[in-house]
Amino acid sequence: MKTIYLAGGCFWGVQSYFKQLEGVVNTEVGYANGDGNTATYENLKNSGHAEAIRIDYDPDLLPLEILLQHYFRIVDPTLKNRQGNDIGPQYRTGIYTVDTSDEAVVQEALVHLQALYTQKIQIETEPLKNYIPAEPYHQDYLDKNPGGYCHIDPSLAQKPLYGTYRFVKPSDEGLKKSLSPLAYQVTRHNATEAPGSSPLNFEDRPGIYVDITTGEPLFSSDHKFDAGCGWPSFTRPLAPDTLAYNEDLSHGMRRVETRSKIGDAHLGHVFEDGPADAGGLRFCINGAALRFIPYEDMDDAGYGDYKHFVTER
């Protein structure tokens, strides 16, 4: 379990958004990084505190990089002392850490964020200090008062996340929780599924095939073909920089292993006996290492920006 504190303007909506995310275990609204150890909702302008939310989360299910991408989604990071219609230093944006190892992650995330804007990013980053839980009536306020105002739309939490940190390698412990035993053995321990055992071997709809460990798109249906080998086969990856290649001398053979670059997941092997008119390569991939996203579901699944890789039939 890890904890981080975020200030994003009105804390009602920030709490309502984050409590919906898988991996968030507990949330609490309060006042952070002011001048003293006392603060109330009425005196925030004088105490210097920001409306903030404490988030206790499981980093195996929700890495900090992804958590921060959700935060960037619901704030305007270029505004100083303001979010939505709320104006004042108590409505400033801020990321407050309690674990020094998180500071580098936060700074790297902000570098990526700044690259998306011409205006200066105004998010305050400091170690947490002088945090005070807010009054009980503020806790889970929008659950109690569904019509309450907040500049944040909590329903965004149910929609796919787009952004720089969209594909992040989970921890090994997180993969044990989220993957099937077969998928875990294939991707983490180089196991091979039985030939003909994967439903993806027979999948012929248009769509993309993504790394089951990270969700990163790896292959397009445009390049899939029936190699008769018993495993899903492709003539090329969706993009050249999505795969890594290693020499594999196991089982008395000399082969070239393919792994996903971001997830470092074992996928299968690449051979030089593919269709000559498509380059001559055959990427022989374990179906257990992939998840298929049909073309018609790509928008809802968060992959609409990859539709140009697929020819709709």
Residues 178 and 148 in one domain: no
Residues 204 and 73 in one domain: no
Q: Maximum CA pair distance of the chain?
A: 74
Q: How confident is the model at residue 247 (pLDDT cuts 50, 70, 90)?
A: very high
CA atoms within 13 A on the CB side of 12: 20
Residues 153 and 9 in one domain: yes
Average pLDDT, the chain: 92
pLDDT at 126: 97
Residue 164 domain flag: no
pLDDT at 167 over 80: no
Q: Which of 4, 6, 10, 24 is catalytic?
A: 10
pLDDT at 158: 83
Q: How confident is the model at residue 165 (pLDDT cuts 50, 70, 90)?
A: low
Residue 167 domain flag: no
Pair of tokens at residue 150:
């907040």
Residues 123 and 154 in one domain: yes
* Host domain of residue 220: 172-309
CATH of residue 39's domain is: 3.30.1060.10
Residues 40 and 141 in one domain: yes
pLDDT at 169: 77
CATH of residue 242's domain is: 2.170.150.20
Residue 163 domain flag: no
**Residue 10 falls in the annotated catalytic set:** yes
How many domains would you assign to the chain? 2
Residues 9 and 148 in one domain: yes
Residues 10 and 140 in one domain: yes
Q: What is the mean pLDDT of residues 181-204?
A: 96
pLDDT at 251: 86
Residue 76 domain flag: yes
pLDDT at 295: 95
Q: What is the mean pLDDT of residues 268-273?
A: 96
pLDDT at 274 over 90: yes
Q: How confident is the model at residue 163 (pLDDT cuts 50, 70, 90)?
A: low
Domain boundary among 98, 133, 158: 158
Residue 259 domain flag: yes
Q: Which of 29, 284, 288, 289 is catalytic?
A: 284
Pair of tokens at residue 278:
């498509």
Residues 61 and 191 in one domain: no
Q: Output the DSSP codes for 32-97.
A: ES-SSS---GGGHHHH--EEEEEEEE-TTTS-HHHHHHHHHHHS-TT-SSEETTEESGGG-EEEEE
Residue 182 domain flag: yes
pLDDT at 128: 97
Residue 208 domain flag: yes
**Residue 150 falls in the annotated catalytic set:** no
What DSSP character marks residue 104? H
Q: What is the mean pLDDT of residues 30-54?
A: 93
Domain boundary among 158, 187, 219: 158
pLDDT at 113: 84
> Can you tell me the distance from the alpha carbon of 162 to that of 160, in angstroms, rounded to the nearest whole number?
7
Task: Give the list of residues 6+ apart from residue 140 with CB closer than 8 angstroms, or none.
Answer: 15, 16, 19
- Give me the phi and psi of 256, to 5 degrees please: -115, 115
Domain boundary among 125, 158, 191: 158
> Can you tell me the distance from the alpha carbon of 101 to that of 307, in angstroms, rounded to the nearest whole number?
37
Residues 57 and 93 in one domain: yes
pLDDT at 115 over 80: no
Residue 165 domain flag: no
pLDDT at 151: 85
Residues 89 and 212 in one domain: no
Beta strands 132-133 and 290-294 are unpaired
